[in-house]
């Protein structure tokens, strides 16, 4: 079975992922496994444009909102309707876990795997396609597809927030053993990955599920920083209460630690946070942001915000707006509340009308755009180490140490996956990925940059506002 017939037919497999960075990390593991077969080409799955031909597609689904479910269904429909030959379609992930029969009944779906069975997806695809197994490509000979990789160290959650379906789909918190984490690091080194993002469904709870286990997220940062050929370490989304001075210090004392953070704040109203079942209150968020900015004055902080939770009043929303307006948060991920059957919030009364939810989303997105541009402006005139992700037509594209988009003229010898020191010149209206603007920078003549510690000793201090 192959889209391209011939003596050495290539097998085209697409992997589409939705949702969080932990899902992305799962997709990368599937990709690595598939690329161990010499006849496999991994082809990006596009949501629009001309029809694509695949032998198989693995869809790693998300179910955090009804929009996530709908996007998955739309992709499946597109694959079926716009392909000359229907590909083999396997769906895994949280949507497949929450509603397996619903997903399997979708036209075009051949098999469904829960998150607990995700390791079975690739062997099933390989078996159905009949891929030869006598030759396996070693990790260091596989094509390098990403300059940055997600290092998943934890799965599951048992917080059971009132709005969230994830604990039902992912199960209880489970920490990945140190030996497995280091083995994955070594695989990434063989793929010449230079930057890893430590991630999980509730990554801050690492180690708490194993009684007597010596190991916390602070230890994970230390373990990864000791892997010589991993040059940069980021932290994925983390619950505000798991942002501790010890964790920030661990990231700040290794020259590999990078100052970008993402906090699922959800609301700035203590009343709504309590109704959601969150473990923190408004002042806790302010304290954590203050700690981060004290250690990393150039830090870029992103947040998740859920608007329109049942019972949210205009006053509650204004508290959220004012909190985010006062804090140096540059990236807003804003979602309207949607009912997830089986959660506590689904049974609550006083649901917010749809038009109010969408109005509040729009207001926060406008605030977020202003604060993003402000963060970009604050970087003009500074220098940054940039991981080059793409070089095309004489221009490079990548992200600064604090995860802001940047592009500029590529010097001779500048290649993807190189780390270069860049002088940030100005803000440009050139969009990069989903960002409306980007920084423009110039590379220093010495291509491979040395080590810079982005901790507080290199910068001025920051004083966070207190909550009134």
Q: Residue 369: pLDDT above 50? A: yes
Owning domain of residue 42: 11-129
137 is a domain residue: no
d(CA 295, CA 257): 11
Which of 353, 378, 403 is at the close of a domain? 378
> According to the model, what pLDDT value does residue 282 have?
97
Which of 351, 378, 405 is at the close of a domain? 378
| Range in 87-101, 149-163, 205-219 with the lowest mean pLDDT | 205-219
274 is a domain residue: yes
| Mean pLDDT to the nearest integer, 70-93 | 87
CATH number of the domain that 252 lies in? Answer: 3.80.30.20
Residues 307 and 161 grouped into a single domain: yes
* Higher per-residue pLDDT: 259 or 443: 259
3-class SS of residue 123: helix
Q: Residue 51: pLDDT above 50? A: yes
463 is a domain residue: no
138 is a domain residue: no
- pLDDT above 70 covers a percentage of the chain that reads 87
> According to the model, what pLDDT value does residue 145 have?
58
| Mean pLDDT to the nearest integer, 327-343 | 93
> According to the model, what pLDDT value does residue 450 have?
47
141 is a domain residue: no
**How far apart, in Å, are the Cα atoms of 202 and each of 159, 206, 207, 217, 326?**
9, 8, 11, 11, 27
2 is a domain residue: no
- Residue recorded with tokens 């990403």: 146
136 is a domain residue: no
Residue count of the chain: 468
| Range in 139-153, 236-250, 356-370 with the lowest mean pLDDT | 139-153
Is 55:2 a contact under the CB 8 Å cutoff?
A: yes
Residues 348 and 387 grouped into a single domain: no
Residues 293 and 210 grouped into a single domain: yes
- Residue recorded with tokens 């286990």: 213
Q: Residue 1: pLDDT above 70? A: no
CATH number of the domain that 82 lies in? Answer: 3.40.50.2300
Residues 104 and 230 grouped into a single domain: no
Task: Enumerate the H helices of 55-141 as residue ranges.
Answer: 66-81, 94-98, 100-104, 121-129
Indicate the DSSP class of residue 86: P
| Mean pLDDT to the nearest integer, 255-277 | 96
| Range in 9-18, 363-372, 433-442 with the lowest mean pLDDT | 433-442
Which of 327, 356, 378 is at the close of a domain? 378
Residues facing residue 11 across a β-bridge = 40
CATH number of the domain that 430 lies in? Answer: 2.40.50.140
Alpha-carbon dihedral sign for residues 239, 175, 150, 88: negative
DSSP character string of 39-63: TEEE-PPPSSSS----SEEEEEE--
Residues 300 and 196 grouped into a single domain: yes
- pLDDT above 90 covers a percentage of the chain that reads 58
d(CA 243, CA 291): 9
CA dihedral 225, 226, 228, 232 (to 10 degrees): 0
Token code pair at residue 379: 């970087």
Is 218:171 a contact under the CB 8 Å cutoff?
A: no
Residues 319 and 291 grouped into a single domain: yes
Q: What is the mean pLDDT of the chain?
A: 86
Residues 161 and 240 grouped into a single domain: yes
Residues 413 and 301 grouped into a single domain: no
> According to the model, what pLDDT value does residue 468 have?
29
Indicate the DSSP class of residue 401: T
| Mean pLDDT to the nearest integer, 175-201 | 92
**How far apart, in Å, are the Cα atoms of 82 and each of 4, 75, 448?**
18, 10, 45
3-class SS of residue 264: strand
Residues 184 and 273 grouped into a single domain: yes
Is 324:334 a contact under the CB 8 Å cutoff?
A: no
* Closest residue by Cα to residue 142 from 193, 105, 94: 193
* Higher per-residue pLDDT: 466 or 102: 102
> According to the model, what pLDDT value does residue 466 have?
37
d(CA 85, CA 418): 39
> According to the model, what pLDDT value does residue 113 have?
93
Is 197:235 a contact under the CB 8 Å cutoff?
A: yes
Q: How many domains does the chain have?
A: 3
Spacing of C-alpha 441 from chain mean position: 25
> According to the model, what pLDDT value does residue 433 have?
59
d(CA 315, CA 295): 33
Sorting pLDDT into bands at 50, 70 and 90, what band is 103? Answer: very high
| Range in 24-28, 92-96, 442-446 with the lowest mean pLDDT | 442-446
> According to the model, what pLDDT value does residue 414 have?
82
Which long-range contacts does 68-75 make (Cβ < 8 Å, 24+ apart)? 68/18, 68/19, 68/95, 69/95, 69/99, 71/18, 72/18, 72/103, 73/106, 74/47, 75/16, 75/45, 75/47
| Mean pLDDT to the nearest integer, 102-118 | 91
Sorting pLDDT into bands at 50, 70 and 90, what band is 318? Answer: very high
d(CA 389, CA 131): 31
Indicate the DSSP class of residue 255: T
> According to the model, what pLDDT value does residue 244 have?
96
* Higher per-residue pLDDT: 338 or 452: 338
> According to the model, what pLDDT value does residue 452 have?
46
pLDDT tens digits, residue range 392-449? 888 899 999 999 999 988 887 788 888 999 999 999 876 665 677 788 988 876 544 4
pLDDT tens digits, residue range 377-393? 999 999 999 999 888 88
Residues 70 and 160 grouped into a single domain: no
**How far apart, in Å, are the Cα atoms of 148 and each of 21, 253, 392, 399?**
12, 21, 18, 11
Residues 360 and 255 grouped into a single domain: yes
105 is a domain residue: yes
Residues 198 and 78 grouped into a single domain: no
């Amino acid at each position: 079975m192959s889209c391209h017939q011939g003596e050495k037919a290539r097998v085209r497999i697409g992997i589409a992922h939705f949702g969080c960075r932990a899902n992305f990390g799962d997709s990368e593991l599937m990709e690595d496994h598939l690329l161990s077969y010499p006849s496999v080409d991994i082809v990006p799955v596009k949501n629009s444009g001309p029809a694509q031909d695949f032998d198989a597609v693995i869809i790693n689904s998300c179910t955090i909102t009804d929009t996530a479910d709908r996007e998955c269904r739309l992709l499946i429909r597109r694959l079926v309707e716009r392909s000359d030959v229907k590909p083999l379609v396997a769906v895994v992930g949280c949507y497949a876990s929450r509603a397996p029969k619903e997903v399997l009944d979708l036209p075009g779906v051949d098999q469904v795997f829960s998150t607990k069975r995700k390791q079975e997806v690739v062997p099933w695809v390989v078996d159905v396609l009949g891929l030869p197994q006598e030759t396996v490509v070693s990790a260091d000979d596989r094509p390098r597809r990403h300059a940055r990789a997600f290092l998943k160290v934890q799965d599951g959650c048992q917080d059971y927030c009132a709005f969230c379906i994830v604990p039902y789909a992912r199960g209880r918190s489970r920490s990945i053993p140190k030996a497995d984490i280091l083995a994955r690091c070594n695989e990434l080194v063989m793929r010449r990955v230079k930057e890893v993002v430590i991630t999980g469904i509730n990554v801050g709870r690492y180690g708490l599920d194993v009684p007597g286990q010596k190991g916390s997220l602070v230890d994970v940062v230390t373990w990864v920083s000791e892997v010589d050929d991993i040059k940069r370490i980021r932290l994925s989304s983390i619950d505000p209460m798991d942002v501790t001075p010890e964790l920030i210090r661990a990231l700040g004392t290794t020259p590999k630690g990078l100052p970008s953070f993402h906090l699922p704040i959800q609301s700035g109203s203590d009343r709504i946070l309590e109704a959601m079942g969150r473990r923190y209150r408004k002042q806790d968020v302010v304290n954590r942001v203050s700690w981060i900015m004290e250690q990393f004055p150039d830090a870029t902080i992103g947040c998740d915000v859920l608007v329109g939770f049942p019972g949210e009043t205009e006053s509650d929303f204004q508290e959220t707006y004012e909190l985010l307006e006062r804090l140096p948060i540059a990236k807003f991920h804003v979602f309207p509340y949607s009912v997830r059957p089986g959660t506590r919030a689904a049974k609550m009364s006083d649901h917010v009308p749809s038009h109010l939810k969408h109005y509040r989303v729009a207001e926060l997105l406008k605030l977020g755009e202003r604060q993003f541009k402000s963060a970009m402006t604050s970087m003009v005139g500074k220098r940054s180490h940039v991981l080059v992700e793409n070089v095309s037509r004489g221009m490079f594209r990548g992200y600064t140490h604090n995860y802001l988009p940047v592009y500029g003229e590529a010097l001779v010898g500048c290649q993807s996956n190189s780390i270069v020191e860049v002088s940030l010149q100005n803000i440009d209206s050139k969009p990069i990925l989903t960002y409306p603007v980007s920084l423009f920078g110039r590379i220093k003549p010495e291509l491979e940059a040395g080590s810079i510690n982005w901790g507080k000793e290199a910068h001025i201090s920051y004083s966070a506002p207190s909550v009134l």
